[in-house]
Structure formats: structure tokens, C-alpha cells
Amino acid sequence: MSIFLTACSDTGGSSGDANGETEPDSAHEEVLPSLTAQIEHWSPTGVFLAAADCGQCHTASQPGDSPAVLRAPDAQISENQPSPQGDDISPFADWKSTVMANAFTDPYFRANMVHESETFPHLAGFIENKCLTCHSPMATTHAHQTGSGLDDGFYRAEQALVDPHAREGVSCTACHQITDSVLDGNAYPDGVHSGNFEIPAEGDPDAFTIHGPYQNPQGQAMQNQVGYTPVFGLHMSDSRQCASCHELYTPTIDMETDQPNGEDYPEQTPYTEWANSDFGPNGSNPVPASSAIWRVKRTEDFLTRLAVRPNGSVNASWPERQPYSPHVMLGGNTWLLETLELFREELGRSDINEAGEFAATAELTRKFLKTAVTLSVNGQTLGAGELAFDLTIQNETGHKLPTSFPARRMWVGTRVRDANGATVFAGGLPDESYRLPMDAVFTSEACLAAKKTSDFDSSVCYQAHLNEVSSENDVPVYETVLGSTTGAITHILLYAANPLKDNRIPPKGFDIASVPEDVRPIGLNDDSDFNAGNAGRDTIHYRIPVGAAVALPLQVDATLYYQSIRPTFIDGLHGEHEWVDEFQTIARLNPPPAEVMAELSFEVQ
């Protein structure tokens, strides 16, 4: 059986019977999270060390010190040198307010992990162990290296809750101790994927080795301070390092037997998407995956030393290095970052993160999302009471939009106003809870039932791919829709066998005919201009009735929205564990937002 991870991050309705009925959904109790305060400096555990201890030297120089170390440049003086008064851009300062640092803290992750465990109690230990392999890699790895903290051979969620090295998420001595075995093969199926990375244990000759992207590191200071030996690691600049967790295949559980059927489901495949794009290693415009996918933006010409002495002073004899990769690690999950800001104390982060840090990273993420896509329009005409135009969405990333976990969606909202400002057309506009009118049907008991009748019509539970918009009910939605072994829609990851729909926009250079079958689009309804010429774009044809007497000119506003957790993956999440109630409370108080990725406005006379 193949391994999996992000059943951890799935949702779905676990209640229901074979007749497709769900139990009445009782009102959730308002339960706020109550994690104990996270420990910043915990005792070294096996081959692992707290990130804060790494940060004692890998930190910015004191304000005013010259030469400056790990501080942002002053563009008026030099864009290539740290400024003594620049912002702290050291790894620990950037990392601690990222999604990576909070991979375990994430309320959605924890709720989904226990949800899957309760749905499949006979596999609960396996599920939690595999989820935590990548969400708490230090703790899971240490437990299996030493045999400590295991329950019947599995590392479990309740143990992770009390282990400080589990609470720290994806940390320095996890990523930087992964061996170069990730370079063997190309992720799935012949390489390292789904959490199968290797970290040497105590007693291994290669234990306590820190891999970095720079040649000939000066290692004595690190050896003296923390007992690790820094070495050059080619894999630290290779996307397969990240793919060791983010290229994820999950085992499929048969809907009728509730047992694994021996097949795998491609839960997230950003590496394969990138490798088959123009930005991949064999593409026409190769771009380091750190820029195209993995969100560690390199500053190519920026020169900085990478550490200060333990007392905070600068050692001018230590070499300056380039390029420098800030560890802010942006993605698209503003909801989690805003949740961490709003519930910083309840989630145990107030001793580590100052007020405003998560909000600042959320704002950077919001800006970053706006670089992922562009909108353009042509063919604007008005005649016989019909407004016509063609809207093109161009993917500017190295992966599908949206990529990875299937709870994500992207859609187009459109509003048309007449010369008096009156709305004559409005479709795809989210309400105050960031829901669409169609979500009322998609989140119905029938659609969210765990098991459905053999004649159930799943097509009523999601929006099919659209090539033309002619009514307000026609909302173009780009997403993955999961199908079970019976062919019915499911929101439970481990029931996923085949997608019913995958119309996410591919990256440039993505040849649908030649890419692996696992990443091919599905359910395009013969849309001939979807990714035409492997251009990484889709064009939507608007044919909107506005009436012959409409006051001109018409103002058209088109907005492309992104949502990291769509409503079906919220409402379908059930369970007895308090983490489920905590997530549901948070989702009501702070619903996953509809982030604006791109906007386009134009007039038609």
C-alpha cells in the first residue's frame, strides 16, 4: 500500500449511510482553540534542535552595526548589500510567521486529521502517523528512529500535542538534514515523495549534518555552538527536496468495503505540474522551482553573511554569500495566517510571535497571489440586446491554478452596470461569508453524505466546466472535484479514486496530450480553447442579455477570486474530537476569504 499525508488536510462528511442520507447536523458548540503555549527553546531531541537555537546565530546584526548581516538593503544606497538599519530578513525571523512553521498548529489540518481517523478508526494510527510525517517531521522521525512515543508502532496526534518538537512544524533541522536521496528519480513514482525522505539517526556517520546551498561552508562555529556540521548539498536548490512531501499520493479506500483497494490517488502534484511546464528543467524557459513553485524567492545579486557570533557581533572574516533565499515561504493561504493572528494566544503562539507578524505575512501573501495570473479581454461588442466579450485567464505560475490540495477553488465574478450605475448583471459575487449562491446546493446533506445511492446524480453537487457565460448562474469555477470508487462525489480524501472534474488552468508549456495521466485535466466539456497551444490559459466567452433599452455605456468589472477552503470542505467536516469543533468555530468567526487575484474593468459603448 502506498503512503499518504494530507488525508490530514482533507475534509468531508463522515456521517451518512449507504442510502445517501446524513444524520441531522446538530449545531456546533462554540469552542475556541486552547493549545498550551508553544515552547520556543526546547531541549535538543535526538538529531533535532529548536529553530530558535539556530536563530541565535543565524539572525540579523544589531541595528546600526556595519557591516550589516541579514538585513534588508536600502535601495537608495545599494540593492545588493544589507543596510545597517534594514529590516530583519534572517531565516528564523521570516520563518516563524509562515504556514510551514505552523504546519501542526493549523486548526484545519488538525481537524481534518482527526476527522479522517474517526471516519476510518481501523486505520487511525496509520493516518495520524502519515499526516504527522510531514506536518511534524522532527517528532515523527525521532519517534521512529528511537522507538519512543509510539502507539502500536505509530506516532499519534495526542503525543504530538505534548511534544515541543512536534508543535514546531516544518523546521530548520528537519529540512536541512534530509539527505540527497531526494535526487534519486523524479518524485512519483520512482523517487522520493509522500513523506519518504531520509534523515540520518544518532549513531549514523552522517548524523548531525546540515545541508546548505553554498559551497565550502565554514563549519567550525556551528560545530562549536550546536554540534552540527554544515556541508554543501546540491539538493537544497532542487525542487525534489520540496517534492519529498508536496508530491503526495494517498491510498484509495473502497467505498463499499472501507478497506484500501491497492490504488493511489494524486492528492497534490505541483512538482509534476512544474516539471511538465515551460519552467521545468526541460522547458523552454527553465526557472528554479523555488521561484516557480516552492515560494522561497531568491535574491540573486544580494550579498550577505549568513550568521553573527553568539554574542550578536559581526565577524567580518566570514564570507558573504549569494543568492540569498528569504525564508518567508509565501503561498496562498491567507486564511491560516489571519487565523493565527486572530487566535495567537489560543493557538499557543503569543510567546513566539509578536502581534502583527502573521498579519504582515498574510499581506505579503495577498500581494504574492496577485502575481500568479493576468486577465485580458477582447471581442467586446453590444448588439441586439446582448453584451459579448471574451475574458482570458493567463496562468503566470509554474503549476496549475489552483494547485495542490483539492479544497481550493478559483472563480470569476462579473458585474455589469449601466450608465446610471444600476446593476444589469451580477454573477459569481461572494457574500459576506465568501460563499456563492450555488454553495447552498453543493453543501446540502445529499451532496455531503459520506455514502450515496448507486443512482445518485453527483453533477448537481458541483459546477461543471464552462466555456460560455449567458446567465448569472453561470459561474466559471476552477477546481478539483473528488470521485469515489463508486463514481459518486466525495469530500473524504481517502475515498478519492478519480477526479470527476479537474479544470485547473495548467502552466505554460503543459502539453495535455503528453503529460502523465495523473495530471491531465478532466471534464472540460470539449472546450477547444482551454490551454490551446499549451499556452497555460483559458478563455471564457460571455454572451450576456442586457436588453435593447439599456443606458450606455456599460461598465464591466471582472474579478478572479481564490479561496483556500471552499464551503463544501467546511460544512462536510464532522467529528467528535474537540479539534473539529474548534475549527468550525474559527471558520464561522473567520471564514476562508475570497482573495482577489486579478481585476479587469472596461466600458462598452
* Interval 522-553: pLDDT, tens: 999 999 999 999 999 999 999 999 999 999 99
Please compute, for residue 161, the number of CA atoms within 13 A of its CA located in the half-sphere on the CB side.
Answer: 13
Q: Which three cell numbers stand for residue 365?
A: 501573501
Average pLDDT of 253-276?
97
DSSP state, residue 560: E
At 8, the pLDDT band (50, 70, 90 cuts) reads low
Q: Is a pLDDT exceeding 70 seen at residue 5?
A: no
The enclosing H or E element of 266 equals strand 260-268
Amino acid residing at 526: D
Please name every residue paired with 541 in a beta bridge, in sequence order, or none if there are none: 390, 468
CA dihedral 399, 294, 199, 253 (to 10 degrees): -40
Q: How far apart are CA 304 and CA 311, in angstroms?
A: 19
CB 128 within 8 A of CB 161: no
Distances (CA, A) of 408 to 62, 282, 313, 322, 400: 41, 28, 46, 35, 12
Concatenating the DSSP letter of every residue in 289-338 gives HHHHTS----BTT--B-S---TTS---TTSPPBSSB--TT---S-HHHHH
At 289, the pLDDT band (50, 70, 90 cuts) reads low
Share of the chain above pLDDT 70, in %: 93
Q: What are phi and psi of 122, to 5 degrees?
A: -75, -10
For the chain, give the number of residues.
605
CB 176 within 8 A of CB 182: no
DSSP helix/strand/coil, 224:
helix
Please name every residue paired with 558 in a beta bridge, in sequence order, or none if there are none: 414, 600
For 12-60, how does the pLDDT look when each residue is reduced to its tens digit (9 = 90+)?
333 333 333 334 344 556 899 999 999 999 999 999 999 999 999 999 9
Write the CB contacts of 237 (distance below 8 Å, at least 6 apart in sequence).
Answer: 213, 288, 290
CB 303 within 8 A of CB 89: no
For 477-521, how does the pLDDT look when each residue is reduced to its tens digit (9 = 90+)?
999 999 999 999 999 999 999 999 999 999 999 999 999 999 999
Q: What are phi and psi of 522, to 5 degrees?
A: -140, 140
Please compute, for residue 217, the number of CA atoms within 13 A of its CA located in the half-sphere on the CB side.
Answer: 20
The greatest distance separating any two alpha carbons of the chain, rounded to the nearest whole angstrom, comes to 82
Q: Is a pLDDT exceeding 80 seen at residue 250?
A: yes
At 285, the pLDDT band (50, 70, 90 cuts) reads confident
CB 293 within 8 A of CB 398: yes
Q: Which three cell numbers stand for residue 29?
A: 458548540
At 1, the pLDDT band (50, 70, 90 cuts) reads very low
CB 481 within 8 A of CB 489: yes
Q: Is a pLDDT exceeding 70 seen at residue 351?
A: yes
CB 108 within 8 A of CB 340: no
Is the peptide bond between 82 and the residue preceding it cis, with omega within 30 degrees of 0? no
Nearest C-alpha neighbor of 476 from the set 527, 534, 547: 527
Please name every residue paired with 134 in a beta bridge, in sequence order, or none if there are none: none
Nearest C-alpha neighbor of 413 from the set 433, 440, 400, 431: 431
Distance of CA 88 to the CA centre of its chain: 25
Q: How far apart are CA 343 and CA 589, in angstroms?
A: 11
Q: Which three cell numbers stand for residue 435?
A: 460563499
Average pLDDT of 105-133?
98
Write the CB contacts of 185 (distance below 8 Å, at least 6 apart in sequence).
Answer: 191, 192
Q: Is a pLDDT exceeding 90 seen at residue 294?
A: no
38-64 b/e with 16+ CB inside 10 Å = b?
bbbebeebbbbbbbbbbbbbbbbbeee
pLDDT, residue 24, reads 36
Q: How far apart are CA 78 and CA 308, in angstroms?
A: 21
For 431-473, how does the pLDDT look when each residue is reduced to its tens digit (9 = 90+)?
999 999 999 999 999 999 999 999 999 999 999 999 999 999 9
Distance of CA 538 to the CA centre of its chain: 23
Please name every residue paired with 383 in a beta bridge, in sequence order, or none if there are none: 386
Q: Is a pLDDT exceeding 60 seen at residue 406?
A: yes
Nearest C-alpha neighbor of 171 from the set 323, 293, 289, 38: 38
pLDDT, residue 297, reads 56
CB 33 within 8 A of CB 346: yes
Helix residue ranges, H only, 120-210: 124-135, 137-146, 157-162, 164-167, 172-175
The 3-class secondary structure across 357-406, one letter per residue, is: HHHHHHHHHHHHHCCCEEEEEEEEEEECCEEEEEEEEEECCCCCECCCCC
Q: What are phi and psi of 367, to 5 degrees?
A: -65, -40
Mean per-residue pLDDT of the chain: 94
CB 166 within 8 A of CB 149: no
Helix residue ranges, H only, 147-206: 157-162, 164-167, 172-175
Q: Is a pLDDT exceeding 90 seen at residue 415?
A: yes
The enclosing H or E element of 580 equals helix 578-589
